[in-house]
């Protein structure tokens, strides 16, 4: 899976435990604070700086996570 760590893109190997519709349950690889990227990425490059928009959250003015990924 792709995750954001320190606003940089990282690829993390995980083990798929179960899949149910659009939900996936995984084990291993993820660390506390990792943000899992759920948007489809075209030509993702490891360590690319990200501009994030957190789902269900309105960004505050000046928030470093203001732009869409």
The token pair that represents 22 in the structure block: 């659009």
pTM score, whole prediction: 0.66
**pLDDT tens for each residue of 12-41:** 999 999 999 989 899 999 988 888 988 888
Q: Report strand pairing: 35-36 vs 23-27.
A: unpaired
Band of the pLDDT at 57, cuts 50, 70, 90? low
Q: How far is CA 20 from CA 24, 47, 57, in A?
A: 6, 30, 25
């Amino acid at each position: 899976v792709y995750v954001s760590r320190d606003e940089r893109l990282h690829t993390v190997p995980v083990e798929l435990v179960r899949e149910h519709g659009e939900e996936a349950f995984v084990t291993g690889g993820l660390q506390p604070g990792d943000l899992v990227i759920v948007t489809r990425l075209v030509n993702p490059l490891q360590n690319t700086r990200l501009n994030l928009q957190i789902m269900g959250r309105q960004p505050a003015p000046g928030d470093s996570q203001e732009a869409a990924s």
